């Protein structure tokens, strides 16, 4: 099988026509036909013929370098004057050959640039996602339930909580009843969030995530809890809030990421004393 037959067979396997190759490479159909018929004398000389072969091979799925080597080996028996301006190879044909090779190089370069841009975009997206995960995606540690505090009892007389409906007359003589409430403990917690600048906030209320999003200045979010709040903020200085209508203390400096756990027992630590 000659080199020309090899080219034609590769094109027919792909099911494409010479006209389609001509449109992609800017090489005249008559020159492509001469290449497939092995009519070397009808092709331009030197670099132009090699450019034709390289562009044709690329379009039919052959290795361009190997195709040029095979073409030169087969053409060794047909001496070609590379300095001539042959009748079959007009200046217009030469220009097409150069344009075809330049177009192929441009397509390869554009493809590599597009792949590099896509890879860079994926890397940037992955870095942003990792940063957001590190900042806001880590789960809050599970807090163990607190053991109830022992109620102080008088050594002289035991403390007994009266039963509902029981009258004072039914109390044993000498028994003192005391109602004890832990100092500073709030019956219910209410947090009122009003950020002064854009601030990412994640709020967990009694173990359930209430929201996790960017709050803008002017927004107001109010939530109530029976036991505790766990609040994580991306900019401690921008996060302003009140607890049970009492202004809250600043959680940190500008740009600082802070997690605060506020419950009924440590409520006093997060408010500004009047």
Chain segment 1-17, per-residue pLDDT in tens:
788 888 899 999 999 99
Joined together, the tokens standing for residue 205 give 């209320």
- Distance separating alpha carbons of residues 273 and 11, to the nearest angstrom: 86
- pLDDT higher than threshold 90 for residue 86: no
- pLDDT higher than threshold 90 for residue 35: no
Closest CA to 64 of 55, 75, 74: 55
- pLDDT higher than threshold 60 for residue 23: yes
- pLDDT higher than threshold 60 for residue 246: yes
pLDDT at 125: 78
Burial class (CB within 10 angstroms; exposed 0-12, middle 13-18, buried 19+) of 273: exposed
Chain segment 153-198, per-residue pLDDT in tens:
444 444 444 444 444 444 445 444 443 334 455 678 999 999 999 9
- Distance separating alpha carbons of residues 40 and 244, to the nearest angstrom: 94
pLDDT at 215: 94
Other residues' Cβ atoms within 10 Å of the Cβ of residue 203: 21
Cα R_g (the chain), whole angstroms: 42
Of 220 and 38, the one with more pLDDT: 220
The DSSP call for residue 265 is: T
**Reduced to 3 states, what is the DSSP secondary structure of residue 232?**
strand
Closest CA to 204 of 220, 227, 184, 185: 227
- Average pLDDT for residues 238-264, to the nearest whole number? 93
% pLDDT > 70, the chain: 66
What's the pLDDT band for 78 if we cut at 50, 70, 90?
low
Domain spans of the chain, in order of start: 3-108, 184-270
Query: For the ranges 76-80, 171-175, 247-251, which has the lowest average pLDDT?
Result: 171-175
**Reduced to 3 states, what is the DSSP secondary structure of residue 40?**
helix
- Distance separating alpha carbons of residues 63 and 270, to the nearest angstrom: 73
The residues near 131 (Cβ < 8 Å, ≥ 6 apart) are none
pLDDT at 109: 72
- Distance separating alpha carbons of residues 58 and 67, to the nearest angstrom: 9
Chain segment 105-157, per-residue pLDDT in tens:
566 677 788 888 888 888 887 888 776 776 666 555 444 545 545 545 444 44
pLDDT at 164: 45
pLDDT at 128: 84
Chain segment 261-273, per-residue pLDDT in tens:
999 899 889 998 7
pLDDT at 104: 60
The mean pLDDT value of the chain amounts to 76
What's the pLDDT band for 201 if we cut at 50, 70, 90?
very high
CATH hierarchy code of domain 3-108: 1.10.260.40
């Amino acid at each position: 099988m000659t080199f020309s037959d090899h080219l034609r067979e590769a094109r027919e396997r792909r099911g494409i026509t010479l006209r389609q190759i001509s449109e992609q490479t800017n090489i005249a159909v008559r020159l492509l036909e001469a290449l497939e018929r092995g009519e070397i004398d009808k092709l331009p000389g030197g670099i132009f013929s090699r450019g034709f072969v390289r562009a044709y091979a690329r379009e039919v799925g052959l290795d361009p370098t190997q195709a040029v080597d095979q073409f030169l080996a087969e053409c060794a028996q047909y001496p070609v004057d590379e300095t001539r301006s042959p009748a079959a190879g007009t200046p217009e044909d030469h220009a097409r050959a150069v344009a075809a090779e330049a177009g192929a190089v441009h397509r390869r370069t554009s493809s590599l640039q597009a792949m590099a841009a896509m890879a860079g975009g994926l890397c940037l997206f992955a870095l942003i996602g990792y940063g957001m995960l590190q900042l806001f995606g880590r789960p809050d540690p599970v807090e163990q339930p607190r053991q109830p505090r022992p109620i102080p009892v008088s050594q002289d007389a035991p403390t007994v909580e009266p039963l509902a409906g029981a009258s004072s007359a039914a109390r044993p003589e000498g028994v003192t009843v005391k109602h004890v409430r832990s100092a500073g403990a709030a019956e219910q917690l209410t947090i009122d969030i009003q950020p002064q600048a854009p601030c990412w906030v994640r709020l967990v209320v009694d173990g359930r995530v209430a929201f996790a999003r960017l709050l803008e200045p002017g927004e107001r979010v109010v939530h109530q809890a029976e036991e505790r709040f766990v609040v994580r903020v991306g900019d401690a200085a921008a996060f302003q809030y009140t607890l049970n209508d009492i202004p809250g203390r600043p959680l940190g400096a500008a740009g600082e990421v802070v997690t605060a756990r506020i419950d009924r027992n440590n409520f006093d630590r997060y408010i500004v004393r009047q």
